[in-house]
Chain A
Amino acid sequence: MPDPKATISFELNGEPATLAFAPHKTLLEVLREDAGLTGTKHGCELGECGTCTVLLDGTPVLSCLLLGLACAGHRVTTVEGMAAGGRLHPLQDAFAELGAAQCGYCTPAFLLAAQALLAVEPRPSRAAIKQALAGNLCRCTGYLKIYEAVELAAARLRGEDATPARETLYGHA
């Protein structure tokens, strides 16, 4: 028997959206299955890995533990909403440039968590980046390229003409 659906209106990636879905679905399920936005991934569905991170009113949250219904009237941003006008967000660009995305599965979550950090802290220290990303697991990169990409993007967002250090790309001499 199909579930009766509930309907909510909210802002999804900058546009008004109205979606109907079974009321017990999480935002993760709603995004992937009802909005067709499969850029939001999942690794445990229990809040234990951070892979499903999205922004709710600009704050990074776990979409696997957030009910779709609880998002009515709120602003939701997913990785699909980061690039604008066919141009990558500086964070996306830096992640691509440094190889901060290897398998790419945790990448959307890291990008959004980093975007939220840079929104409040345009010049984060390495320690602040580590703290801000401490809720996201990555098994490929060892996080280092991710830190460097966040730093590179932060500099560019501040208007600096930043380029990656040679050691970042080629190792130490």
Chain B
Amino acid sequence: MATRKKRRTVGLSDSLTVKRSQSDSPTVRLSDHRVIGRALRKIDATAKVTGATIFADDLFFPRMLYAKLLRSPHPHAKILRVDVAKAARLAGVRAVLTGKDLPIPFGILPVSQDEHALAPDKVRFVGDPVAAVAATSEDVATAALDLITVEYEPLRPVPDAEDAVAHPEPRIHDYGDGGNLHKLIHLEFGDVETGFAAADLVREDLFFYEGSTHLPMEQHAAVAQWSADRKLTVWSSTQTPHYVHRALAKVLELPPARIRVIATPNGGGFGGKSDPFSHEIVVAKLAMVTGRPVKITLTREEVFYCHRGRHPTLMWIKTGVTKDGAITAMHFKSLLDGGGYGSYGVASTYYTGALQTVTYPVARYKFQGARAFTNKPPCGPKRGHGTPQPRYALEVHLDKLAEQLGADPAELRLKHLVPPNSLTANYLRVGSMGLGACLEKVVAGSEWKRKFRKLPPGKGVGLACSSYICGAGLPIYWNNMPHSGVQLKCDRGGGVTVFCGSTEIGQGSDSILAYIVAEVLGLDPFEIAVVTADTDLTPVDLGSYSSRVTLMTGNAAIQAAERAKEILAGHAARKLEIPATRVVFAGGRVFDAEDPKHGMAFAEAVQVAEAAQGTIGTVGSYTPPRSAAKYRGGGVGPSPAYSYSAAVAEVDVDPDTGIVTVPRIWIAHDIGQSINAAAVMGQVEGSVYMGLGEALMEEMAYRGNRNVVHKIPSLLEYKSPTTLEMCDVVTYLVEDPDPSGPFGAKEVGQGPLLPVPPAIANAVYDAVGVRVDEVPITPEKVLKALKKKTKGEEGRVGPTRFPDIPWPEPIRVPPPWEGGDGGAVPVAAAALERQH
């Protein structure tokens, strides 16, 4: 007992402080920015408001063919026979493909190479592609699909995760962690039982977070061209051209050097265009077979089948707290409904257990996560990837704990914030940490103290916080190369071109490159040329996912620009006959800091340098710092920096109908440093929008009793909030520069979604005193909870049990304050320790 106490008294904030060497941070000045931080137009704004931006489906080529995919009408079946003879004979049909033509499997993660462009022997959800047609028109291609006959032998379908746990057979895949369980994770950071024993209050809760989809307004589309010199070009609405490049090379058995992938600007992505997809590989193969350009544009229904959206997740959480709210231990279990394929699912599963520790100190932490295969479209990464579900659970759970402790939930959180520059129990290295400032902003702005538990019946406020990664610390496939590369070319006319593999999905990644280079070189950002997302022209950037782009491409761009600046400054200094340290780049000029008139135009500086040493070009790249987590599974969660958000939601609940409306949300986001404040605002508001939709109405619904068809694969019946549902948003940007970010910048694309669902759930409780421990919080559920409360039962709707899952032995990792080094305790030692 004494030793336990002693362990606990090692102050988290003292012992966890990590020394950060100054050399970690890029060499930038944090003041006097001319471009950085200002609200500027995006460099592609004019193209977008004039309709000039060319999206994938806007591409038309002479002699272009149109492709369509035949999809499975069965959720789970063996393919016995495919007959395409009639379709192939239809006038206008130029090629028909089946699974035999593309036998090599692929998948985004090396551990889940479980997809085929066209199912060769088995289908795993209604909508799984089985055959493909290329024809002279979309009409003919569609007609040809009807002429293909497929003989199936139906297998028992698995409609949801709990069914997958209960029914290991028939297996959907022949790999995984047994039966229909794709992945099982068991991590233990310190002995939680000891922590619970030391707590004054221990509470358990169950939550369910329904699946939802990205619903980009642009349907996925791809065009492929095969030239007579055996070179393939694929244009696609993808967030990850580099991974598509790799998948094409693998499946088509072509040298990567013969493949060029161009990511067209994405008409919305949100994570839904981050996997290599069947349709991309199919058009490429069709182009190779026919020798003609081939385009495919998915219908809205097919976009629902691509999915890769939010995993429906059942969660169980147990937390021990002291009287003043310090968390002594937390045990978290999640069960994810993965759908028919792996996708990013293994990472998603880890993410449901990764970020619980970065907001409030958790002294001991245990996580058990499971992902099940089910016969539905595959789930994957949607904005917040695997973390909105546990964040919702944690923040509602905390609200309940605060009430039991008699504490104000805002004060409780403020009292227990993870200190900056610290290591968490699971070895995540927190840098700058602006959550306290965020909390203070929304508490003051919303008049929280005046409203919480004091509004008239039917009105309520709720609060929640969150955090998100600024880029995954590890790449998708193991390699030790940079995550992001930038090349920079200085033209003798004074023009600068930035080349980067990053992909514009509306978040502004192209603009970021221009702003940063302009800032460093003292130029007008609108005069910087930006070339992105083209595997022939641009160095690799891993893609627009995990909120990595601003931080990683930004740092790479700074490096390239600083190197160019150094070259130009050296030659300019010689010409100006001043020391290079006195050379300043500003306003399109290069001049003496002590005598600004003594200088030259930027173009002249390039000319001087080019005359002296030849063409001026530089490169920059970025690799995230090494993770402190050395245990298996420690690859998910570490990030160069963490963004923080806090939100207060105000709701009106109609007690007669259970309908919840949200008039306003106050949200503060710790951005580190805005690169473009207006773009940051847009990401915050857009995140709130998506969080609002998930909280109240969005739902991937299936008919388990009717062949597990998607119940509502349409923009009409999948309920995306309109202008009339969107709430007012009061946004606060907290700028607490992080040394890891470019100019101190952190992410904003995903993090601000996270606090929205739990803040709304907590507000509903404040308004009418019932708990809907299940997202979306629909009127049916609210009314049901209200009726239960009226009857004297517990005013709650939500899951009631977590199934028994055959968890593996835990990987035991002592937290830093228990002498851990980030690695797992060897199994034998762990077993020995447990005997004591």
Contacts and interface: CB of A to CB of B under 8 A. Distances in A.
Contact of B715 (A93, A137, A142): A137
Contact of B678 (A43, A48, A99, A139): A99
A96 B51 CA distance: 12
A129 B285 CA distance: 47
B690 interface: yes
Contact of B217 (A37, A39, A41, A80): A41
Interface string A141-173: 111110100000000000000000001111111
Nearest to B666: A172
Most buried by B among A97, A104, A143, A168: A104
Nearest to A139: B268
A82 interface: yes
A93 B41 CA distance: 10
A62 interface: no
Contacts of A96: 41-42, 45-46, 48-49
B91 A82 contact: no
Interface string B64-81: 000000000000000000
A9 interface: no
A17 interface: no
B217 A51 contact: yes
Contact of B681 (A37, A140, A168): A168
B219 A43 contact: yes
Given A96-B45, A99-B678, A103-B268, A82 B50 contact: yes
B49 A130 contact: no
Interface stretch (B119-127, B188-196, B274-282, B723-731): B723-731
A92 interface: yes
Contact of B686 (A45, A102, A137): A102
A39 B715 contact: no
Interface in A100-135: 101-108, 111, 129-131, 133-135
Contacts of B269: 103
Majority DSSP secondary structure for residues of A touching B: loop
A98 interface: yes
Interface residues of B, number: 68
A101 B269 CA distance: 14
Nearest to B682: A99
B829 interface: no
Contact of B45 (A37, A49, A99, A131): A99
A169 B48 contact: no
A5 to B, nearest CB: 13
Given A96-B46, A101-B49, A103-B266, A43 B733 contact: no
B237 to A, nearest CB: 10
A169 B50 contact: no
Contacts of B732: 171-173
A142 B685 contact: yes
A26 interface: no
A21 interface: no
B503 to A, nearest CB: 11
B75 to A, nearest CB: 24
A170 B46 contact: no
Contacts of B441: 172
Contacts, number: 199
Interface string A19-30: 000000000000
Contacts of B267: 41, 103-106
A42 B507 CA distance: 21
B716 A169 contact: no
B714 A38 contact: no
B50 A48 contact: no
Contacts of B677: 169-171
Most buried by B among A45, A82, A144, A168: A144
B216 interface: yes
Contacts of A63: none
A44 B300 contact: yes
B146 to A, nearest CB: 17
B716 A46 contact: yes
A92 B217 contact: no
A134 B722 contact: yes
Given A95-B49, A104-B44, A48 B688 contact: no
Contacts of A82: 50
A141 B49 contact: no
B217 A172 contact: no
A79 interface: yes
B300 A43 contact: yes
Given A46-B716, A137-B217, A108 B51 contact: yes
B724 A88 contact: no
Given A101-B49, A106-B217, A142 B724 contact: no
Interface string B687-720: 0111010000000000000000000001110001
Given A80-B50, A95-B49, A103-B506, A139 B681 contact: no
A62 to B, nearest CB: 12
Given A46-B715, A104-B267, A142 B726 contact: yes
B815 interface: no
B52 interface: yes
B679 interface: yes
Interface in B253-268: 265-268
Contacts of A40: 51
B682 A145 contact: yes
A1 B93 CA distance: 11
B217 A105 contact: yes
A140 B686 contact: yes
Contacts of A147: 723
Nearest to A109: B217
B300 to A, nearest CB: 4
A147 B689 CA distance: 14
B91 A142 contact: no
Most buried by B among A40, A51, A95, A170: A170
Contacts of A169: 39, 677-678, 681
Interface string A81-93: 0110000100011
Contacts of B679: 99
Most buried by A among B47, B58, B506, B729: B506
A3 to B, nearest CB: 8
B723 A44 contact: no
B41 A171 contact: no
Given A139-B690, A171-B684, 13 more contacts: A46-B300, A48-B714, A79-B51, A83-B50, A99-B42, A102-B506, A102-B682, A107-B51, A108-B51, A130-B723, A134-B722, A142-B686, A172-B441
Interface of B: 39, 41-42, 44-55, 57-58, 60, 91-92, 214-219, 265-270, 299-300, 441, 445, 505-508, 674, 677-682, 684-686, 688-690, 692, 714-716, 720, 722-724, 726, 728-733
Give the 5 A-B residue pairs with the shortest CB-CB distance, closest first: A39-B51, A103-B506, A105-B267, A104-B48, A142-B689
18 contacts: A40-B51, A46-B716, A48-B716, A83-B50, A95-B49, A96-B42, A97-B41, A99-B682, A103-B266, A103-B505, A105-B218, A131-B723, A140-B268, A142-B726, A169-B39, A170-B674, A171-B677, A173-B732
